[in-house]
Chains A and B, each alone.
Chain A
Amino acid sequence: MEILNGFVDSVVGLFNSSGLCVLTWQNYVMIGISIILLYLAIKKQYEPLLLLPIAFGMLLVNLYPPIMAAPTDGSNGGLFYYLYQGVKLGIYPPLIFLGIGAMTDFGPLIANPKSFILGAAAQIGIFITFIGAILLGFDPKAAGSIGIIGGADGPTAIFVTSILKPEFLGPIAVAAYSYMALVPIIQPPIMKALTTKKERSVVMKQLRPVSKLEKIMFPVIVVILVAIFLPDAAPLVGMLMLGNLFKESGVVDRICKAAQNELMNIVTIFLGVTVGATATGEVFLSLDTLKIIALGLAAFCVGTACGVLFGKLMYKLTGGKVNPLIGSAGVSAVPMAARVAQKVGQKENPGNFLLMHAMGPNVAGVIGSAVAAGVLISILK
């Protein structure tokens, strides 16, 4: 009899501690959302490298919330709590930038430095969305974190949000990466609406070859300039340029490969699952999340439109030598935005190859969004 009672008590105890009793309806909704995101990552291949770990982190934290719990006197805390410290302390985004720098060729930007203008123009969306967020009732720190989605740069958005408004990290990261994945759907209608057939058909002159010395000097010069004038952008730009110097110097091949592959992949896993794990039902299912998603989309669209409009301006000023479509690549989203410019341009003229021309504004957008992040942090922190 005693054994039977013990067995029943154990089963009741297990049932009471199971998800069936502990989870709320919000957790179940989030489990559904995470499954949809997993489907988009696997079946539709929307930014799968990040969306998959984010979606799985979201799934896991809503099934087992203590995985994100902070340590107390009686417990050590959950696994994701410790991994999340890399996000909270602003460690992962600069490490991702190190890997991006090691993979990026700044040659097209050095060959055509005017691309920087297009990279800067596309950042206007960040500041206009900031105003929109204030008008919708967000406080300035939250508005800054939402505006940075317009930079279309996941690590930068996470970096800024972790400093300004950590509690919005989940919705902002999910919005930023979702819109980056949707670049091929969001950008073409805006590009077509703002340009004429003649402008889209412009074939640009081949870029000049860039010497190795110029490529080596570039990261050093950029980091000196940005770190002196905008120290808050130094962690992001500094690591981006360090990675690029690894690549261009050609003397640290092993380190360069580690930054491009092992380090980048490990950090991507940790960043993805822990950012996803911040999206618990209680935090994510709110009116604020809907507003963030709407404002993020607006930021992205305005950034794209500003890039294209500046592209049109350059088209006029150069007497039709610049194809305005490359302006849309000024939002970071490397290399997706450049691919979109290439595809839209090739639809008008199959013999037109805009990819390398669009890579200039695209990588300039990475630097531009890091500079914009520095501005927001220095004013709002």
Chain B
Amino acid sequence: MENLTLCLTILITGFVVVFSVLIMLILIIKIYGAIVSRALASAESRKEEKRRAELEAKLENNRARAEKADALQAQNLKSSESSDTGAQSEISREVVAVIAAAVASTYGEGKAKITGIKRSKAPNSRPAWGMAGVFENTKPF
């Protein structure tokens, strides 16, 4: 009888205390997580506003030069257009610039010419680079 009482005491106390402490931790983490996220978000937005104001000032100065460069790039792209024009039109100019830089870095400047860019259709929903990263990170396990 004494043992039964002790068993039930341990079982109930253990169950209640372990769950209570960990549930308390859940609540505290949720609360401080929300507070920290909000504080960081507001600090970030203030920083962002300041940065945007600075950028706008710079942008104004460079606009004329950028427009000129855009026109030149559009002309170059038009001349190197391939048959898959539908896929190319989806690719942004930034991506084209990155691919051009990668090609130039691999083959050497002026030694290769991009004639067309086509987006590959990956079988998985996860992007190929993302998939490769996840495999790399989980490989040791």
Residues of A whose CB lies within 8 Å of any CB of B are 109-110, 113-114, 116-117, 119-120, 123-124, 126-128, 130-131, 134, 140, 144, 211, 213-214, 217-218, 221-222, 225-226, 229-230, 335, 338-339, 342-343, 351, 353, 355, 364, 367-368, 371-372, 375-376, 379-380
Contacts of B29 in A (CB 8 A): 109-110, 113, 218, 221
Query: Which of A117, A120, A213 counts the most chain B CB atoms within 10 A?
Result: A120
**A-B pairs with the 9 shortest C-beta distances?**
A116-B22, A127-B14, A113-B29, A113-B26, A120-B22, A131-B7, A339-B141, A127-B11, A375-B14
Contact of B138 with A214 in the complex, beta carbons under 8 Å: no
Among A127, A140, A217, A375, the residue within 8 A (CB) of B36 is A217
Contact of A367 with B22 in the complex, beta carbons under 8 Å: yes
Contacts of A371 in B (CB 8 A): 17-18, 21-22
Contact of B141 with A335 in the complex, beta carbons under 8 Å: yes
Residues of B whose CB lies within 8 Å of any CB of A are 3, 6-7, 9-11, 13-15, 17-19, 21-26, 28-30, 32-33, 36-37, 40, 124, 126, 134, 138, 141
A140, B7: Cα distance in complex, Å:
9
Contacts of B6 in A (CB 8 A): 134, 140
A123, B7: Cα distance in complex, Å:
15
Contact of B21 with A225 in the complex, beta carbons under 8 Å: yes
A116, B10: Cα distance in complex, Å:
21
Majority-rule SS of B interface residues: helix
Contact of B21 with A229 in the complex, beta carbons under 8 Å: yes
Chain A nearest Cβ from B118, distance in angstroms: 25
Contact of A375 with B3 in the complex, beta carbons under 8 Å: no
Contact of A213 with B40 in the complex, beta carbons under 8 Å: yes
Chain A nearest Cβ from B138, distance in angstroms: 5
**Contacts A221-B28, A351-B126, A353-B138 known; A130 to B36 CB distance under 8 Å?**
no
Contact of B15 with A221 in the complex, beta carbons under 8 Å: no
A355, B11: Cα distance in complex, Å:
31
Among A123, A130, A351, A355, the residue within 8 A (CB) of B10 is A130
Contacts of A217 in B (CB 8 A): 32, 36
Contact of A134 with B3 in the complex, beta carbons under 8 Å: yes
Chain A nearest Cβ from B33, distance in angstroms: 6
Among A110, A355, A372, the residue within 8 A (CB) of B14 is A372
Contact of B26 with A117 in the complex, beta carbons under 8 Å: yes
Contacts of A130 in B (CB 8 A): 7, 10-11, 14
**Contacts A116-B25, A342-B141 known; A230 to B17 CB distance under 8 Å?**
yes
Contact of B23 with A117 in the complex, beta carbons under 8 Å: yes
Closest chain B residue to A106, Cβ basis: B29
Chain A nearest Cβ from B90, distance in angstroms: 25
Closest chain A residue to B26, Cβ basis: A113
A–B pairs, 6, beta carbons within 8 Å: A113-B25, A117-B26, A120-B18, A353-B138, A368-B22, A375-B14
A285, B5: Cα distance in complex, Å:
32
Contacts of A229 in B (CB 8 A): 17, 21, 24
Contact of A375 with B17 in the complex, beta carbons under 8 Å: yes
Contacts of A117 in B (CB 8 A): 19, 22-23, 26
Chain A nearest Cβ from B16, distance in angstroms: 9
A144, B3: Cα distance in complex, Å:
13
Contact of A127 with B32 in the complex, beta carbons under 8 Å: no
A338, B140: Cα distance in complex, Å:
13
Chain A nearest Cβ from B26, distance in angstroms: 4
Contacts of A221 in B (CB 8 A): 25, 28-29, 32
Closest chain B residue to A210, Cβ basis: B33
Chain A nearest Cβ from B36, distance in angstroms: 5
